[in-house]
Amino acid sequence: MKSAPPPGPSLSPALKRAFRVRLPAWFEKRRRPFPWRTRRTPYRVWISEIMLQQTRADQALPYFRAFVRRFPTLRSLAAAPQREVLLAWEGLGYYARARNLHQAARIIARRHGGRFPSDPAALRALPGIGEYTAAAIGSLAFGHEAPVLDGNVIRVLARVMALEDRIHTRAATQKLAAWAEALKIPGRAGLSNEAQMELGALCCTPRDPDCAACPLGNVCRARAGGKPEAYPVKKRRAPVPHKVVGAAVTLRRDGRILVAQRKDSSMLGGLWEFPGGGLDPGETMDQCIARELSEEMGVRLEVGPLLTIVHHAYSHFTIELHAHWARIRAGRPRAIHCADFAWVRPGQFGRYPFSRADHHIIEALRAPAGRAARKELISMWFGGKKKPVLKGV
C-alpha cells in the first residue's frame, strides 16, 4: 500500500534532489571531524548524543574527550561511583543527563551483558533516552531508517518549507516528521540526519543564516520570501523569573567548611553545594540562611558577613546568590533535606562536583580577600578574638 503524501506543500523532485544529492555533497566537504564521527561506536554515539541534547557541539567537544578518556567503555562507566561521573560532567549543566547516563550504563551491563542494545524499544527503555535520542543513536550507530527531529533539523525543515504553524504544536510536529521521512536518503537515514544537523549548526543558524552558501538555497521557501529568520515560528517567551537565594559558607574551628549533597530528585541532583535556599517574603538574608540550614540540616546558625554575591542564569530562571560566612551555634548537621554532607578543606573542593554558581563561591573563598576573611573569622569565632576586621568581603 502506498503511504499518504506528507501534509503541506508538495515535495517537488527539485526539493528531494536538494536534500538527497546537494546536501550530502555539501556535508562531505564541510563536516567537522568530531571524535564521535571519526571513531564511531554505539557507546561513543550515545555519549555524544546525550551531551549534544542541550550543549553545542564545539562546547561539548572537550567534555566528550575527557569523558571517554576517563570512561573508555560502557563497563568502566557502569563500575564508576556517581560522584566520579558527575565530576566528569561538571560545567556541562543539566546534570540529570549524567545521572541517567550512569544509571543506563548499569542497566546495560546488567540486563544486556554490557552490549549496547540496538532494538529501538530497548533503547527507549533506558533512562535519558527518549524518542529523539533513540532515533539518533539508532540511525547513526545501527543504520536504522529513523529520521531525527532535533533543533537544527527542525529549523532547516521549517525554513525550507516555510512552516507557519508554531513549532512544538501537534500540527507542526506531524508535518515536520512527515517531511523528514519523505526527504531522507533511502537506506541512509543516518547520513540525512547528520547532514541536516550540520547544516543547521553551520549554515542555517538561528541568526544570520548563510543562505548564499546553502545547498538548499534554490528550494528554500523562507529564503524566497526574504525572511528566513522568521522561521521556525515560536511561542512568545514568558518573562524569565528571578530568584534571590542565600547560601551558608559554614566554618568549623579546624577551618573546614560545610557542604551538602543535593538529593537526586532535585534540580542539580547529586551535585554538592553550600547549603541554603530561596528568600521568603519579608525575610532578611540572615533569617533566610538560618532557616534553611535549620530545615535542611537541623542546626542553629549564626550568620556572619557577606562573602560574595553570584549572578547566574539557568535555562528557566535567573538567581542572585548571596553567600554568607556562618558558624554553628547549636546542633550537629544531619542530612534531613539533603542526600549527604561533609566538612571539607578549601583545597579539597576539587573532589566534589559543584554547580557553576557554587564554583563562583569557591573562587571567592580562594581569593586573597576570602582567605583573609576566613582566617579572621576562625580567630574571632573560635580563637577568643573579640572584633573582626573585615574589609571588602
CA distance 273 to 285: 18
By CB under 6 A, tell whether 214 contacts ligand SF4: yes
Q: Single out the residue of 182, 185, 211, 342 in contact with ligand SF4 (rule: CB under 6 A).
A: 211
C-alpha 231, offset from chain centre: 25
Give min distance, CB of 335 to ligand SF4, in A. 51
Pairing status of strand 340-344 against strand 257-261: antiparallel
- Whether 125 and 119 have beta carbons less than 8 Å apart is answered as no
By CB under 6 A, tell whether 203 contacts ligand SF4: yes
Q: Single out the residue of 184, 223, 327, 374 in contact with ligand SF4 (rule: CB under 6 A).
A: 223
By CB under 6 A, the residues from 120 to 179 that bind ligand SF4 are 156, 159-160
Most distant pair of Cα atoms in the chain: their distance = 89
- Whether 77 and 108 have beta carbons less than 8 Å apart is answered as no
Q: Single out the residue of 220, 247, 310, 321 in contact with ligand SF4 (rule: CB under 6 A).
A: 220
Q: Which is nearer to ligand SF4, 204 or 301 (CB)?
A: 204
Q: x-or-dash pattern for ligand SF4, window 64-103, by CB under 6 A?
A: ----------------------------------------
Set 49, 198, 273, 292: catalytic member: 49
* Partners of residue 322 on adjacent β-strands: 246, 309
CA distance 48 to 265: 24
Q: What are residue 263's phi and psi, to 5 degrees?
A: -65, 150
Give me the amino acid identity at 213. A
CA distance 285 to 326: 12
CA distance 285 to 246: 6
Q: Single out the residue of 228, 246, 270, 370 in contact with ligand SF4 (rule: CB under 6 A).
A: 228
- Whether 195 and 216 have beta carbons less than 8 Å apart is answered as no
Question: Does the annotation count 320 as an active-site position?
Answer: no
Which grid coordinates belong to 231?
522561521
Span from 9-17, 113-121, 170-178, 215-223 in contact with ligand SF4 (CB under 6 A): 215-223
By CB under 6 A, tell whether 222 contacts ligand SF4: yes
By CB under 6 A, tell whether 216 contacts ligand SF4: yes
Give min distance, CB of 175 to ligand SF4, in A. 16
- Whether 26 and 215 have beta carbons less than 8 Å apart is answered as yes
Give min distance, CB of 183 to ligand SF4, in A. 12
Q: Single out the residue of 18, 163, 204, 299 in contact with ligand SF4 (rule: CB under 6 A).
A: 204
CA distance 105 to 114: 8
Q: Which is nearer to ligand SF4, 226 or 281 (CB)?
A: 226
* Partners of residue 244 on adjacent β-strands: 320
By CB under 6 A, tell whether 47 contacts ligand SF4: no
Which residues belong to the active site? Answer: 49
Q: Site residues (CB under 6 A) for ligand SF4?
A: 156, 159-160, 203-204, 209-211, 214, 216-217, 220, 222-223, 228
